[in-house]
């Protein structure tokens, strides 16, 4: 295969006594503004798509993926006033629409009405509805518009009754929640200052702050509510308690923990009190009863516990309410006079009830093993809505009545798949240091013995890889392939210690866990001898790049998506500094030596036989900028790594994943699965025979 020519510059730096060559630094430039980078990216993408279009099985995968995505998908409903709000994708819509359902007692009760249809916002379907929030009386809706996958947002306000837009428009919004004041006069949101609005990839973002926007006023008059100018790289997110009494502001450096500040909105001056100042422990407000807050925290409890704080006390102190258990506290809600607490046990969910004095009050029945959470309900109501899903269960919306302790289905998709013919196993394997690590294995019931296998991992930022339904994975499994997910360290599956064991100087542990998962799949006869592909996105893309360098012999194919590939310069672009609590600081000598030891870009082993690699990125990704993948693929193509291809697919008008239109999602998966099938030996069959 002849790769496009890539210019090499004589750039090198001495870093703590180590000479670091960086010949492809020019590929860091923003391709939206640099014609040379844009031309290079087009050539790479053209080569990749020219290769991919000739692979067998593409039409079959496209047909099945189209059918598998073609079912109604709803979000968890949110009740405001006598209205219920939720999003709905009928199946193959480019974007989900926002729907309002009128409540009882008025004309048209129970009828659905489309409030916002992002499918009308752009010709290519790449303009999406971002964050949204309805006022507590349901009269107004604040919503964010995401264009082309960018993390930057603009915010508008809608009159729900008339469907008319207000004149209010907010800009410079990025990484924001929206939370309304109880009286509906306005809402809290987060934005960057004027100086932080350079949207080029090279511009770091800083100065995040919470503001309050009063309806009918220009953004220039918005009230600054919370900022940390002495720590400009913190992110701040605001919420308001259900009774409207308090605004709660979470401040974070990116991962690991957060500070917590509470504003008394009954006080005309909005008196502010920081109740948790450090950034090492997680804090989240579940709800309140009067002046008493109920919170989840990992302060002194690495798997989480529930505490209370009475703000009426002159010197309030946290009091333990529900002690830490062997399970990981993952989510919570206060509704109907009860606490509902969702726990992770070996990456699966169970939900228990507690009275407000902390005493046990039973459990919440779930449809089966899987993942549950995302509670939405008002503290004064008897009902709460949440999701339930698993690898073989499409995302279902459940309605739970507290008084009856009864769970019922509010919305269940009808997937075009034989899900009864799929088996999900939870296994455990020993990592390099003997640690017991969970591994989910999904396959067709009639598939026995070794088979082409796709192994997925993430391992970072305390994010747990919990079971959830994904149509694209079903398409792989239907063809007789095996799909596996390793719950490696760096995630949050077993609490803070599991996260800490895979970050900073311990990052190699996450790679060891993933390599051990690959070895286990082969040793157990699950993966074919030369039939194992690996996949991961973002931090998971870093994972894939690192383990391919360390053990290229294990893998037939690798699919790194929007990966962090240059660990020595990640902090120089957009929001890269927010990752330093997980990765470390390249400007600190000890961290530098840790990073350079595994950085995918800097550890490519010329002379080794590498797997086939299809790296994917997008031209508008302003979170993990495409320069990471560009430099990585350029270095792969320049090295002697054997005959298998190393390709780069660049999606246009897309970002880090959120907001990508359904048709683009399907086409990308068609390419990924056809590539993985080619190199793992998966024989793709027509749909009617694949299901037998």
Distance CA 221, CA 508 (A): 49
213 is catalytic: no
**Which residues lie across from 19 on neighbouring strands?**
14
Q: Is residue 433 part of a domain?
A: yes
Distance CA 38, CA 86 (A): 39
Range of the domain at 524: 12-67+420-684
The answer to whether the CB of 111 falls within 8 A of the CB of 130 is no
pLDDT tens figures, 666-675: 999 999 999 9
Answer yes or no: do 671 and 606 share one domain.
Answer: yes
Q: Is residue 155 part of a domain?
A: no
Q: Is the pLDDT of residue 104 over 90?
A: no
Q: Is residue 251 part of a domain?
A: no
Give the pLDDT confidence score for residue 686 in this predicted structure: 82
Answer yes or no: do 575 and 659 share one domain.
Answer: yes
User: Percentage of the chain with pLDDT > 70?
Assistant: 98
pLDDT-derived band of residue 101, with 50, 70 and 90 as boundaries?
A: very high
Residues 663, 668, 669, 675: is their CA dihedral positive or negative?
Answer: positive
Distance CA 519, CA 532 (A): 10
Answer yes or no: do 547 and 408 share one domain.
Answer: no
Q: Is residue 129 part of a domain?
A: no
Distance CA 226, CA 176 (A): 13
What secondary structure does DSSP assign to 310-325, as a single string? ETTSSS---EEEE---
Answer yes or no: do 398 and 500 share one domain.
Answer: no
Q: Is residue 258 part of a domain?
A: no
Give the pLDDT confidence score for residue 567 in this predicted structure: 98
Answer yes or no: do 440 and 524 share one domain.
Answer: yes
Answer yes or no: do 378 and 431 share one domain.
Answer: no
What is the number of domains present in the chain? 2
Which residue, of 363, 398, 414, is where some domain finishes? 414
* Nearest CA among 580, 533, 534, 540 for reference residue 563: 540
Answer yes or no: do 630 and 650 share one domain.
Answer: yes
pLDDT-derived band of residue 107, with 50, 70 and 90 as boundaries?
A: low
Distance CA 262, CA 264 (A): 7
pLDDT-derived band of residue 418, with 50, 70 and 90 as boundaries?
A: very high
Q: Is residue 456 part of a domain?
A: yes
Answer yes or no: do 452 and 572 share one domain.
Answer: yes
Out of 140, 213, 602, 656, the active site residue is: 656
Q: Is the pLDDT of residue 609 over 90?
A: yes
Whichever domain contains 577, its CATH number is 3.40.50.1820
Give the pLDDT confidence score for residue 690 in this predicted structure: 45
pLDDT-derived band of residue 653, with 50, 70 and 90 as boundaries?
A: very high
Which residue, of 414, 430, 451, is where some domain finishes? 414
pLDDT tens figures, 166-194: 999 999 999 999 999 999 999 999 999 98
Answer yes or no: do 378 and 455 share one domain.
Answer: no
656 is catalytic: yes
Give the pLDDT confidence score for residue 202 in this predicted structure: 76
Out of 75, 431, 538, 629, the active site residue is: 538
Average per-residue pLDDT for the chain:
96
Answer yes or no: do 497 and 579 share one domain.
Answer: yes
CA-to-CA separations, 171 to 17, 144, 156, 196, 213, in angstroms, rounded? 44, 10, 9, 11, 12
Answer yes or no: do 522 and 393 share one domain.
Answer: no
Q: What is the mean pLDDT of residues 159-169?
A: 97
pTM of the model: 0.96
* Nearest CA among 439, 442, 444 for reference residue 426: 439
pLDDT tens figures, 50-72: 999 999 999 999 999 999 999 99
What secondary structure does DSSP assign to 121-138, as a single string? T-TTS-EEEEEEEE-TTS
Give the pLDDT confidence score for residue 108 in this predicted structure: 56
Answer yes or no: do 496 and 623 share one domain.
Answer: yes
Which residue, of 414, 437, 457, is where some domain finishes? 414
Q: Is residue 185 part of a domain?
A: no
Q: What is the mean pLDDT of residues 597-608?
A: 98
Q: What is the mean pLDDT of residues 352-360?
A: 97
pLDDT-derived band of residue 110, with 50, 70 and 90 as boundaries?
A: confident
Give the pLDDT confidence score for residue 203 in this predicted structure: 73
The answer to whether the CB of 102 falls within 8 A of the CB of 108 is yes
Q: Is residue 32 part of a domain?
A: yes
Residue 279: what are its φ and ψ, rounded to 5°? -115, 15
Give the pLDDT confidence score for residue 103 in this predicted structure: 78
Q: What is the mean pLDDT of residues 512-517?
A: 98
Q: Among 308-312, 574-578, 613-617, whose mean pLDDT is lowest?
A: 574-578
Q: Is the pLDDT of residue 691 over 80?
A: no
């Amino acid at each position: 295969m002849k790769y496009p020519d890539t210019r090499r510059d004589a750039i090198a730096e001495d870093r703590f006594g180590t000479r670091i060559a960086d010949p492809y630094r020019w590929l860091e430039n923003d391709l939206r503004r640099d014609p040379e980078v844009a031309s290079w990216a087009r050539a790479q993408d053209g080569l990749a798509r020219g290769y991919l279009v000739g692979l067998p099985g593409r039409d079959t995968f496209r047909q099945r993926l189209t059918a598998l995505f073609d079912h109604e998908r709803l979000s968890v409903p949110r009740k405001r006033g006598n209205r219920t709000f939720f999003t709905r994708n009928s199946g193959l819509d480019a974007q989900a629409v926002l729907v309002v359902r009128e409540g009882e007692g008025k004309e048209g009760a129970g009828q659905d009405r489309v409030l916002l249809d992002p499918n009308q916002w752009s010709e290519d379907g790449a303009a999406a509805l971002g964050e949204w929030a309805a006022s507590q009386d349901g009269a107004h809706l604040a919503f964010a518009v995401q264009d082309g996958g960018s993390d930057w947002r603009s915010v508008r306000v809608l009159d729900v009754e008339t469907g008319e837009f207000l004149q209010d428009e907010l800009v410079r919004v990025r990484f924001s929640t929206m939370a309304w004041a109880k009286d509906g006069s306005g809402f809290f949101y987060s934005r960057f200052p004027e100086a932080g609005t350079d949207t080029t990839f090279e511009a770091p973002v800083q100065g995040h702050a919470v503001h309050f926007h009063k309806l009918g006023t220009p953004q220039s008059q918005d009230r600054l509510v919370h900022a940390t100018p002495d720590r400009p790289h913190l992110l701040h997110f605001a919420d308001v308690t259900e009774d409207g009494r308090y605004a709660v502001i979470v401040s974070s450096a990116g991962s690991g923990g957060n500070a917590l500040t509470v504003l008394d909105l009954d006080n005309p001056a909005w008196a502010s009190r920081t109740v948790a100042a450090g950034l090492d422990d997680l804090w989240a407000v579940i709800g309140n009863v009067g002046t008493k807050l109920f919170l989840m925290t990992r302060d002194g409890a690495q798997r989480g516990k529930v505490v209370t704080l009475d703000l009426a006390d002159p010197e309030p102190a946290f009091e333990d309410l529900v002690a830490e258990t062997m399970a990981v506290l993952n989510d919570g809600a206060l509704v109907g006079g009860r606490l509902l607490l969702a726990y992770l046990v070996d990456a699966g969910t169970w939900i228990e009830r507690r009275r407000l004095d902390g005493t046990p009050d039973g459990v919440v029945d779930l449809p089966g093993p899987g993942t549950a959470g995302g509670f939405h309900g008002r503290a004064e109501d008897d009902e709460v809505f949440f999701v339930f899903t698993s690898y073989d269960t499409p995302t279902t919306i459940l309605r739970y009545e507290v008084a009856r302790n009864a769970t019922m289905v509010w919305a269940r998709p009808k997937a075009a798949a034989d899900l009864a013919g799929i088996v999900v196993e939870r296994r455990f394997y020993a990592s390099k240091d003997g640690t017991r690590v969970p591994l989910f294995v999904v396959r067709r019931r009639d598939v026995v013995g070794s088979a082409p296998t796709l192994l997925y991992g993430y391992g970072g930022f305390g994010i747990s890889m919990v079971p959830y339904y994904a149509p694209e994975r079903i398409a792989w499994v239907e063809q007789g392939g095996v799909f596996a997910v390793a719950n490696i360290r760096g995630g949050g599956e077993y609490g803070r210690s599991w996260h800490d064991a895979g970050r900073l100087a311990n990052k190699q542990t996450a790679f060891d866990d993933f390599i051990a998962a690959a070895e286990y799949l082969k040793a157990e006869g699950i993966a074919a001898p030369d039939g194992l592909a690996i996949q991961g996105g973002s931090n998971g893309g870093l994972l894939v790049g690192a383990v391919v360098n360390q053990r290229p012999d294990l893998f037939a194919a690798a699919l790194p998506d929007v990966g962090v590939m240059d660990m020595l310069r990640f902090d120089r672009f957009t929001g890269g500094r927010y990752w330093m609590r997980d990765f470390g600081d390249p400007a600190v000598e000890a961290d530098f030596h840790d990073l350079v030891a595994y950085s995918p870009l800097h550890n490519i082993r010329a002379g080794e036989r590498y797997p086939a690699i299809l790296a994917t990125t997008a031209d508008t990704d302003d979170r993990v900028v495409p320069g990471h993948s560009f430099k990585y693929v350029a270095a792969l193509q320049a090295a002697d790594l054997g005959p298998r291809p190393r390709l780069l697919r660049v999606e246009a008008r897309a970002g880090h994943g959120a907001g990508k239109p359904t048709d683009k999602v399907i086409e990308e998966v068609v390419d990924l699965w056809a590539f993985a099938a080619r190199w793992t030996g998966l024989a793709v069959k027509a749909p009617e025979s694949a299901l037998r």
